[in-house]
């Protein structure tokens, strides 16, 4: 073993007890020998067991019908989420807000994010109504499995903007090997050909079939030709769903003011749009080290810190840009509906 490997070995070992998922970077996570002995499956089982335990502690605050829908499907769709007048004001304030934006390119699609930082929250005062909504707060925490304040962005998906291969997000995949939360409040109607979100109902469950599939994948992704699978977001072929006892995906072509919230361990994708489209949404994300015992104790959820996390993350990313490539480029001040 080289001196460098000896130095890194404790870090690689410690990463086994975090959400580290890449089969490229860590020789323990990618080890065929350890995965044949069940390392990946053990990390999965423990993470899911702990998430179920934490969700049990958060369940009481959740509306019973939301909890039943989530436990059954792994995804919840709530039409007319905000009162119409509140939604109209929120939509108007978001679409006219010009803030510091970041963009990333994946295939032919550009994704833009604008942080809901203190300046944005002053310009979009109605956002407070969404953030403090009891139904949202309880459900977001239950799905994440943590009592944490989700990260919140204004997100725009600009499809078919470049002459390039298709957006890789149109391939069905699990984001991680452990439960994690993503949510969308759509500001406009999402038609069937407008790149709707799609989800395989029930694929959030760690069944015997899924465990067998995960084990198989843990032994093959490293040498396969899918870079994103090798990085720990396993892609799934729709032909494999029957073997996993799962249905074909549901497409969420939904009216404006629909909230969709999902556990992204479940298989999901962005459906390919028929023509260039711009989809603007309020987008939330809740994820934490899956091996934490407690649901709370998150400094990042403290008011005053919570709304500054995204600019801080971007700034930290910029500082390390020379070492780790940054995919989110600053593009100056933009409105959510502006062209790229
Ligand atoms: Fe994803």
Kindly provide the b/e burial profile for residues 31-70, where b requires at least 16 CB atoms within 10 angstroms of the residue's own CB.
beebbeeebbbebbeebbebbeebbeebeeebeeebbebb
Count of CB atoms within 10 A of residue 332's CB?
A: 9
Q: Round to whole Å and give the CA distance between 140 and 2.
A: 45
Structural domains in the chain? 18-321 (2.60.120.620)
Task: Tell me, in angstroms, the distance from the centre of ligand 1 to residue 59's CA.
Answer: 25
**Which of 98, 39, 61, 58 has the alpha carbon at shortest distance from 332?**
98
Task: Tell me, in angstroms, the distance from the centre of ligand 1 to residue 266's CA.
Answer: 9
Task: Tell me, in angstroms, the distance from the centre of ligand 1 to residue 173's CA.
Answer: 6
pLDDT of the residue at 207:
97
Q: Round to whole Å and give the CA distance between 311 and 314.
A: 5
Task: Tell me, in angstroms, the distance from the centre of ligand 1 to residue 3's CA.
Answer: 37
Q: What's the sign of the alpha-carbon dihedral 321, 290, 128, 186? A: positive
pLDDT of the residue at 323:
65
Task: Tell me, in angstroms, the distance from the centre of ligand 1 to residue 272's CA.
Answer: 14
How much is the average pLDDT of 222-251?
A: 91
| 135-158 pLDDT tens trace | 999 999 999 999 999 999 999 999
Task: Tell me, in angstroms, the distance from the centre of ligand 1 to residue 235's CA.
Answer: 10
Task: Tell me, in angstroms, the distance from the centre of ligand 1 to residue 182's CA.
Answer: 9
pLDDT of the residue at 257:
98
pLDDT bin (cut points 50, 70, 90) of residue 4 is confident
pLDDT of the residue at 325:
65
pLDDT above 70: percentage of residues in the chain: 98
Q: Does residue 203 surpass a pLDDT of 80? A: yes
Burial of 326 (0-12, 13-18, 19+ CB in 10 A): middle
| 53-88 pLDDT tens trace | 999 999 999 999 999 999 999 999 999 999 999 999
| 85-137 pLDDT tens trace | 999 999 999 999 999 999 999 888 899 999 999 999 999 999 999 999 999 99
Task: Tell me, in angstroms, the distance from the centre of ligand 1 to residue 175's CA.
Answer: 5
Task: Tell me, in angstroms, the distance from the centre of ligand 1 to residue 233's CA.
Answer: 8
| 242-293 pLDDT tens trace | 999 999 999 999 999 999 999 999 999 998 877 888 899 999 999 999 999 9
pLDDT above 90: percentage of residues in the chain: 72
How much is the average pLDDT of 16-33?
A: 93
**Which of 17, 306, 308 has the alpha carbon at shortest distance from 147?**
306
pLDDT bin (cut points 50, 70, 90) of residue 34 is very high
| 297-339 pLDDT tens trace | 888 888 889 899 988 888 888 887 666 667 888 999 999 998 8
Which value, to the nearest 10 degrees, does the dihedral of the CA atoms of residues 206, 208, 211, 217 take?
-130
Task: Tell me, in angstroms, the distance from the centre of ligand 1 to residue 92's CA.
Answer: 28
Least confident stretch, 178-182, 205-209, 265-269, 272-276: 272-276
Q: What is the largest CA-CA distance in the chain?
A: 65
Task: Tell me, in angstroms, the distance from the centre of ligand 1 to residue 237's CA.
Answer: 15
pLDDT of the residue at 1:
63
pLDDT of the residue at 106:
87
pLDDT of the residue at 226:
82
As given in the structure block, the two tokens for residue 311 are 């600019």
Q: Does residue 167 surpass a pLDDT of 80? A: no
Task: Tell me, in angstroms, the distance from the centre of ligand 1 to residue 264's CA.
Answer: 6
Q: Is 118 helix (H, G, I), strand (E, B) or coil?
A: helix
Contact assessment for residue 188 and residue 282, using Cβ atoms and an 8 Å cutoff: no
Q: Across all residues in the chain, what is the average pLDDT?
A: 92
pLDDT of the residue at 321:
67
Task: Tell me, in angstroms, the distance from the centre of ligand 1 to residue 197's CA.
Answer: 10
pLDDT of the residue at 149:
94
């Amino acid at each position: 073993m080289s001196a460098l490997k000896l130095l890194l070995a404790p870090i690689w070992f410690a990463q086994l007890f975090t959400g580290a998922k890449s089969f490229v970077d860590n020789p323990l996570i990618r080890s065929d020998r350890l995965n044949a002995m069940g390392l990946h499956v053990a990390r999965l089982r423990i993470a899911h067991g702990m998430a179920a335990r934490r969700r049990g502690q958060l369940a009481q605050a959740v509306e019973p019908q939301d909890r039943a829908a989530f436990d059954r499907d792994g995804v919840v769709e709530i039409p007319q989420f905000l009162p119409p007048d509140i939604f109209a004001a929120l939509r108007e304030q978001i679409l006219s807000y010009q803030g510091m934006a970041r963009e990333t390119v994946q295939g032919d699609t550009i994704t833009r994010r604008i942080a809901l930082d203190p300046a944005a929250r002053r310009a979009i005062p109605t956002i407070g109504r969404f953030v403090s909504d009891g139904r949202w707060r309880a459900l977001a925490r239950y799905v994440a499995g943590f009592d944490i304040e989700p990260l919140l962005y204004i997100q725009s998906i600009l499809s078919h903007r470049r002459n390039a291969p298709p957006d890789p997000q149109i391939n069905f995949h699990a984001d991680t090997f452990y439960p994690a939360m993503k949510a969308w409040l759509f500001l406009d109607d999402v038609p069937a050909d407008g790149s709707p979100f799609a989800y395989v109902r029930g694929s959030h469950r760690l069944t015997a079939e899924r465990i067998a599939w995960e084990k198989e994948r843990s032994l093959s992704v490293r040498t396969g030709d899918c870079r994103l699978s090798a990085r720990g977001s396993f892609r799934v072929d729709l032909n494999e769903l029957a073997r996993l006892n799962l249905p074909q995906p549901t497409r969420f072509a939904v009216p404006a003011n629909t909230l969709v919230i999902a556990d992204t361990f479940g298989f999901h994708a962005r459906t390919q749009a028929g023509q260039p489209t711009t989809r603007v949404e309020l987008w939330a994300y809740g994820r934490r080290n899956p091996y934490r015992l407690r649901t709370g104790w998150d400094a990042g959820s403290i008011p005053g810190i919570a709304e500054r996390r995204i600019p801080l993350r971007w700034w930290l990313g910029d500082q390390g840009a020379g070492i780790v490539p940054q995919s989110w480029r600053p593009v100056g001040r933009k409105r959510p509906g502006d062209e790229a």
